[in-house]
Structure 1
Amino acid sequence: METPGLVVHGEAAPFSTALRSLLNNPQYSDVCFVVGQERQEVFAHRCLLACRCNFFQRLLGPKLGPGMPSPVVLSSVPADAFLAVLEFLYANSVRLHRHSVLEVLTAAVEYGLEELRELCLEFVVKVLDVELVCEALQVAVTFGLGPLQERCIAFIETHTQAVLERPVAEVAAPVVRELRLALLAPAELSALEEQNQREPLIPVEQIVEAWKCHALRRGDAARGAPCRRRRGTLPREHHCFLDLPFK
């Protein structure tokens, strides 16, 4: 009987460095993305993206055919966030920055990259401050990231109530008014409504306006609530009826 072979491992650092050198490198690339509002070209390798991420496997399937296909346009994701996603896919590590981590987190959620999402969440918690917390709360509510939402609310309470002696809901009101509730899927909006009944934070009228937008399937239906996607917000299937430009 043949003795089972032994799996041995080479050094991880040189391997990671070699793969990282392929990032946005036109040499040997077989797909080109045009990303962000600036329409920046980003080069990549279909086989690597497809084996690492189901989103890209579907996006870059056999329909593109052999050879270099036409550029794949992803105008709603900022270039630096998209490059961070590719860095993680190529090297299984990524350098995060506080000014762009929420956009990377948004992309990770949209692309179904759970490990990258968790890394982003850990980073956000570490760097959370008064400048970041409002936008982080909006992302948490939009994508149903309960732990991050709770952390943001706790941060607001800790850093404002002692000084201003105002309720959390009152302190968070300027942020809550900017939430793009109409961009949530109906199931997400329903879950948010149930949670809001237990812990009132969002005015009922604002939730009603979001439901009106869904019911009438018109982006201009909810006059009292923002419906425009922020730059960096990736389109989702139920956004088709909004048909509004980015803010």
Structure 2
Amino acid sequence: MGGVPRFVFRNDKSFKEILEKGFPSTAILCWENDSVLPKIWLAFIFEAVVCEASVTRDDEKTGGNYMMIKLRGGCQLCVQFICETLVVELACEALQAAVTYGQVDMKKKCLAFIEGSTREVVKTRGFHELSDVAMIEILHSDSLMIDEFELIRAVREWAHVNSVVLDKSVPEISKEVVKELRLALLSPEELTSLENDNKKENFIPVERIAETWKFHALKKGSGAPFHLFKRRIGTLSRDHHKYLDLYYK
């Protein structure tokens, strides 16, 4: 690999500066540890054209990891690399890149990772920076390892963060996303708590909450989509779930 340019990335800024100066057709990309892999790299690999990429651990010159990359063909090897090195802190950033650039296989693998580590993933910065489209991809899943009440709180926090960043109201930010929250999984006590908190921000339309109260009263659904009554893998059992099993098994 003599004569091939070598770039060491320690943060987003160093990566961006190198890209602005112009990237060679063949280069060695080095980073000190997996957590350094910057978001800009996720976008870069789909904009660039990559024909060869090989990853090696513990580079003797940097004390970290490196990839030799040639910019000429497709990006499949980079997709493979990201999927094989997913960590909690970067899972949502990888999912966002997959959704943005239409990488179906990568999206499936990111979702599978997020499903298995949901409680940890929802606490990351990447989760709070997801687009509404990417968030809906997560909420469609029946396999999330998190209870619905905790998931709703995490999505509410996401909406607040994006409300500030995008200078939009919480209801405007959450309009499409909250349609995928499974309110029927909550107990009456939890629904009461959610309703009281909701009065301050209107995070969830009052009509959705009213529909859920109707479910508790009648012990059956009232025309809402089937999947909203289905328990996720991480859903904690509640007494009223026996009615879910009866009508939506």
TM-score tier by shorter-chain length is 0.3 to 0.5
Q: Give the TM-score normalised by the residue count of structure 1.
A: 0.43
